[in-house]
Amino acid sequence: MTPAPASMRRFLLLAWVLAGLVAGGLALLLGAGPAAAWLWSAAALPVAVHVAIGLVRSLAGGRIGVDAVALAAILAAVALDEAAAAAVIGLMVAGGEALEAWAEGRATGALTALMARAPRRTARIDGEAISEIDVADIRPRDLLLVRPGETVPADGTLEDDAATLDESALTGEPLPATFRRHAALRSGGVNAGAAFRMRATQDAAASTYAAILRLTQEAAAARAPLARMADRWALGFVGATAVLAGGAWALSGDPVRALAVLVVATPCPLILAAPVALVAGIGRAARRGIVVKGGGALERLARIRTVLFDKTGTLTPGQPRLAAIDADPALGRDGALRLAAALAQASTHPVSAALVAAAVARGIDPPLPQDAAEVAGGGVMGRVDASTLMLGSEGFLHAAGIDPRNGFGLVAQVAVAAGSIAWLAMDGRIAAAFVMSDGLRPDAPRAVRRLRALGVRRIALVTGDRAAAAQAVGRALRLDQVFADQSPADKIALVRAEAAAAPTAMVGDGVNDAPALAAADVGIAMGAAGTAAAAEAGDVVLLVDRVDRAAEAIAIARRSRRVALQAIGIGMGLSGVAMVAAALGFLTPLAGAVLQEGIDVLAILHALTALRPGAEERLGADLPPQAGIEERRAEHAGLRQLAESLRSAGEAIDADDAAPHLAEIVARLRDDLLPHQRAEERALYPEAAARLGGQDPMAPLIRMHAEIEAQVERLAALLRLAEGESWHVAAPELRRTLFSLEALLRLHLGIEEEMLADLR
């Protein structure tokens, strides 16, 4: 017969004590006092045996807790004919352990849910046949069928046009995500749409979900330092109890008074309050896509005062994007991007992919290149629209006898800070330069500001990247210090030096970050898109690809530790008062047992408040559909293109076709931008203000709306004057207004997106 789980045994023990108490009470009502005493003793003694077994195990492990007081109280109550008190003490002990089992079950719900959702069987496609296999039999290159409601069994790539996955258990994001053909799929997501085919790239044991399960098991098995600290307090508590009980007996000559002290000094579930609070914090973090490897890591996280960030893949996405274009005026920016994207389609380089993505985002449909050939590490060449094109690095063009910097020195200087340059040559001469940069993650500024609000005193950047690129990130995020050109060994030395000055966390994602993560007091790994080495080395793993979850993890840890200490203080403080009252003779053993039961339950229930977010963690809330936040966000892409048009119009203000082009832009401003702003002020901003708090949080954005509207009207008025008077007289003022409006619009969009980032 399979033995009952430990939690089930706790509930069975509680049921036994309750049955004995009720039976004894009925016997007493029927006038059978001796039988009642026997029934109450029978109810209490199995609890004494249970406690004794646990005490022996604790002593073997070098620990002693308040279980010793509980055991002494039960045995003394039976010996002194206080069987009812013994039964109530037994109820207190059994009830506290049952409550702990329920609390742990609730607190670890998010972690156990990950285990329960682990797939065991899957469908493999072999030619025309579909066979059911164990997940353990999946091998790379297997073609798998994932049906509706099934869990993705292994990492792989999507073979069909689209798939919809619910990854909430992995990332904490509530909405299903849509993936397109050849997208990378992570094991553990649930198919929330139609059946789809995928090609496995890993076996199940090496996939994302298996790694998450290993992290979960480590988190559940670890013992918290705070619990050990509670055990040390318990040792002093046991000594104080013995002295107080012995003193009460000696001064009064009544052993029952000593028993009363022992009874109220029996907070067995009290010392469990600390781990319950920490486990609650671990569970709540898991629901937000943050895996904390045990209570020890959670407690260390709560003490962090210095945070060090890696750059690439942590504060930046780690993927190049198009930041700026400098093109021959005869070709134009869009024309240059069209040619570059056409040629880039023949390359697998990340810069090429970024150029194609930028062209698609602007509504440009690049043609297919002819005779295209890629030179590894250099660039790509081919023919587009009967022109011979070369796209690549400066050295690539130099090798063909073309000087890239001729006429493009300014862009080259900007690129030193912004990133790198992809040069485009057409028919043997430079036609355009594309400045590529790895911009900040959208959530990075918010992550830094929130860390400051949490009291983190020092935030620095530690990267192996060049100093110019690192300093640009440091300035944008207002970091305290930037350490560039750092090797893995340099990072370890730097982390150790910072940790010697203050508790330090390191946040990173790459293989080269793993040693630094392990050296820090707390290593926080970007596990969603990072490497397995970083995830294994980190004490905390962020399963959602958002760096601001690092700040959220610290907020959860601080609240959990604070609640744990409060629960210990409440229980031990109230128990101390009750012990003094018992020693002075104000409490009988039975009354003391009932009172202590209430104290213990109160301490455990307070520990469970760690399951709820604290005030410092509440960052906004869901908006009603009528607020239209998703529609406004979707319109921002078009508004950014409109800002690009403003800049292009300002640069081409002296062209022959400037007037009709400018009239078209004014019409777009009135038809697209101004209605967008009015819709925000009418529906979105009032709802956002109610959730962000403060006296008038949206006032700066509304003020910027008013200034943008004024600039639009100024632009329209200047255009009317320019068409009626000499164009060249009005052109300088038109150019200034266009550039001013472009800068204001870009700034407004960026600020608005950051302010509303936590609302949805």
pLDDT-wise least confident of 171-175, 418-422, 543-547: 171-175
- Dump pLDDT digits (tens) for 165-206: 877 656 545 457 778 888 888 888 888 888 999 999 988 777
Instruction: Give the helix/strand (H/E) hosting 168.
Output: helix 168-171
Whether residue 635 is predicted with pLDDT greater than 80 in this model: the reply is yes
* pLDDT recorded at residue 103: 52
Whether residue 589 is predicted with pLDDT greater than 70 in this model: the reply is yes
Per DSSP, the three-state class of 119 is: coil
Question: Regarding predicted confidence, which is higher, 180 or 4?
Answer: 180
Burial of 625 (0-12, 13-18, 19+ CB in 10 A): exposed
The CA distance from 504 to 458, in Å, is: 9
Whether residue 360 is predicted with pLDDT greater than 60 in this model: the reply is yes
Instruction: Classify the C-alpha dihedral 124-127-130-132 as positive or negative.
Output: negative
* pLDDT recorded at residue 115: 57
721-748: average pLDDT = 86
530-547: average pLDDT = 70
Whether residue 341 is predicted with pLDDT greater than 80 in this model: the reply is yes
Q: How many CB atoms lie within 10 A of CB 513?
A: 30
Question: How many helices (H) and strands (E) are present in the chain, helices listed first?
Answer: 28, 22
Whether residue 521 is predicted with pLDDT greater than 80 in this model: the reply is yes
pLDDT-wise least confident of 121-130, 603-612, 616-625, 747-756: 616-625
Whether residue 215 is predicted with pLDDT greater than 80 in this model: the reply is no
Whether residue 409 is predicted with pLDDT greater than 60 in this model: the reply is no
For residue 161, which phi and psi values (nearest 5 degrees)? -65, -35
Average pLDDT taken over every residue of the chain: 81
Specify whether the CB–CB gap between 571 and 245 falls below 8 A: no
Whether residue 240 is predicted with pLDDT greater than 60 in this model: the reply is yes
Whether residue 613 is predicted with pLDDT greater than 90 in this model: the reply is no
Torsion-angle region of residue 423: left (phi > 0), alpha (psi -120 to 50) or beta? beta
The answer to whether the predicted template modeling score (pTM) of the entire model surpasses 0.85 is no
* pLDDT recorded at residue 704: 92
Question: Regarding predicted confidence, which is higher, 505 or 102?
Answer: 505
128-142: average pLDDT = 90
* pLDDT recorded at residue 124: 94
CA proximity to 438, closest of 550, 312, 553: 312
* pLDDT recorded at residue 615: 65
Whether residue 686 is predicted with pLDDT greater than 60 in this model: the reply is yes
Residue 389, strand partner residues: 382, 426
207-213: average pLDDT = 68
Percentage of the residues of the chain whose pLDDT score is greater than 90: 18
- Name the amino acid, one letter, at 574: L
- Dump pLDDT digits (tens) for 247-298: 888 888 888 888 888 888 766 556 667 778 888 888 888 888 888 877 788 8
* pLDDT recorded at residue 161: 85
- Dump pLDDT digits (tens) for 478-509: 899 999 888 777 888 898 999 999 999 999 87
* pLDDT recorded at residue 564: 86
The CA distance from 59 to 445, in Å, is: 51
For residue 516, which phi and psi values (nearest 5 degrees)? -70, -35
Which range among 14-23, 62-71, 214-223, 226-235 has the greatest average pLDDT? 14-23
Percentage of the residues of the chain whose pLDDT score is greater than 70: 84
Q: In which band, very low, low, confident or very high, does the pLDDT at 678 lie, cut at 50, 70 and 90?
A: very high
- Dump pLDDT digits (tens) for 689-707: 887 777 788 888 999 999 9
The CA distance from 321 to 311, in Å, is: 16
Say what angle helices 727-755 and 658-668 make with each other, to 10 degrees: 30
Whether residue 310 lies in the annotated active site:
yes
* pLDDT recorded at residue 382: 92
137-144: average pLDDT = 92
Q: In which band, very low, low, confident or very high, does the pLDDT at 719 lie, cut at 50, 70 and 90?
A: confident
From the list 142, 203, 310, 521, the catalytic residue is: 310
592-604: average pLDDT = 81
* pLDDT recorded at residue 537: 61
Which range among 258-272, 309-323, 404-418, 529-543 has the greatest average pLDDT? 309-323
Q: In which band, very low, low, confident or very high, does the pLDDT at 3 lie, cut at 50, 70 and 90?
A: very low
* pLDDT recorded at residue 2: 39
